[in-house]
Amino acid sequence: MQKKMLLTGAILGALAVIIGAFGAHGVKPHLSPTQYSAYQTGSQYHFYHTLIIVINAVAFPYLKPKFSIFAFYFFTFGILCFSGSLYLLSTRDLLGISSWSWLGPITPIGGICFILGWLFLGIAAIKYHPNTHD
């Protein structure tokens, strides 16, 4: 599982850099300040939560596995829902998907996933007991 977490973190990290650079150099001139701000927010949260996925993977031997794994999945799903929806919402005029009104409610679902990920990571740390690690 630790390897899966690190690999996911590496892939999401590379995507964070690519999407962030694409936003700054490719789409920024075509977005309103509000749209670009939303895009940047998605990019920042993408990067923050990619880093915590990698930290979670490195700390995995020192955490209660079940809760660490929950945190990993919530952080990953949070990136997809929160950041992904912000990327699409901010560029939907450019992409020709202006009618995709269902994207708006996806963003807070991603935010809830981030919160749950942080809570599960905290529980993973609290519940860890070196003599009973499973």
Q: Give the start-to-end residue ranges of the domains of the chain.
A: 2-127
Q: Looking at residue 132, what is its pLDDT?
A: 57
Place of tokens 């899966």: 4
Q: pLDDT by residue (tens digit) across 7-61?
A: 999 999 999 999 999 988 989 999 999 999 999 999 999 999 999 999 999 999 9
Mean pLDDT of 105-118: 97
123 has pLDDT over 80: yes
5 has pLDDT over 80: yes
Q: pLDDT by residue (tens digit) across 47-90?
A: 999 999 999 999 999 999 999 999 999 999 999 999 999 999 99
Distance, CA of 18 to chain centre? 14
Closest CA to 53 of 9, 11, 16: 9
As a whole number of angstroms, the distance between CA 99 and CA 10 comes to 33
pTM of this structure: 0.91
Q: Looking at residue 66, what is its pLDDT?
A: 96
Q: Looking at residue 110, what is its pLDDT?
A: 97
Q: Quick check: helix, strand or coil at residue 50?
A: helix
Q: Looking at residue 101, what is its pLDDT?
A: 85
